[in-house]
Structure 1
Amino acid sequence: MSSPEIASLSWGHMKVKGCSSSYKDCKVWPGGSRAWDWRETGTDHHPGVQPADLEEVLQKGVATLVIGRGMSEALQVPSSTVDFVRQRGVELIVLQTEKAITEYNNLVGQGAKVGGIFHSTC
């Protein structure tokens, strides 16, 4: 099962190939995607992405996880979250969202078991 390509990105709007809905922020993994609702885990720009935000994607058996920190990189990724991912033996790539999506789509094109979590605004 392959990861879905991110078809488009603009401020506050993302489309995932093969998905009829659009997202403000999203999670993607081999075979699926869904909205990333920060309220589920109490996430905010500071302290940033929590391990609980990533758990669902990591459970899908990804080898690489890409995090998009927003268009202006306002979303933080604390060292505790980085450690959480690495302790599971998963490669982690953290970039500005446009660059993160380019990298994610490149990995999808190579057939990698990749997941992502992307913030499409600040």
Structure 2
Amino acid sequence: MASPEISSLSWGHMKVKGCATAYKDCKVWPGGSRAWDWRETGTDHHPGVQPADLDEVLRKGVEILIIGRGMSEALQVPVNTLDYIKKQGVNVKVFQTEKAVKEYNDLACQGHKVGGVFHSTC
């Protein structure tokens, strides 16, 4: 299965190609996407992205995981989270969200099994 293209991004709004739902924050993986609801894991800007936020995407067989830290990069990504991803045998790249979406889409278009978690506001 291919990783779906992120077709649009603006402050607080993301669209994934083939999905009728718009997201504020989202998770994407080969063959699917869904809203990234921080309340599920108690995530906040500090300390930031937790391994529990990523497990669902990592279980989808991704080779590369892209993390979008927000438009102003307010969302933190702790070292222990990066270590966790690497221990799963997955490469990880962390960017400001607009750059993260571009990188994700580029890799998806090249046929990579890429997944991502993206924060579309601060």
Is the aligned partner of 1:79 residue 2:96? no
Asked if residue 105 in structure 1 is aligned to residue 105 in structure 2, the reply is yes
Shift of 1:44: 0.0
Structure 2 Cα separation of the partners of residues 36 and 113 of structure 1: 19
Percent identical: 76
Counterpart code for 1:73: E
Q: Secondary structure at the match of 1:42?
A: coil
Aligned match of 1:88: 88
Equivalent position amino acid for 2:39 in 1: R
Who is 1:3 aligned against? 3
Q: Counterpart in 1 of 2:69?
A: 69
**Structure 1 position 38 matched with structure 2 position 38:** yes
Corresponding residue number in structure 1 for 2:52? 52
1:119 deviates by 0.1
Q: Distance in 1 between matches of 2:20 and 2:32?
A: 12
Normalising by the residue count of structure 2, what TM-score does the alignment of the two structures yield?
1.00
Structure 1's unaligned 5+ residue stretches are none
The Cα of 1:26 is off from its aligned counterpart by 0.1
Length, aligned pairs only: 122
User: How many angstroms apart in 2 are the aligned matches of 1:88 and 1:33?
Assistant: 20
Report SS of the residue matched to 1:57.
helix
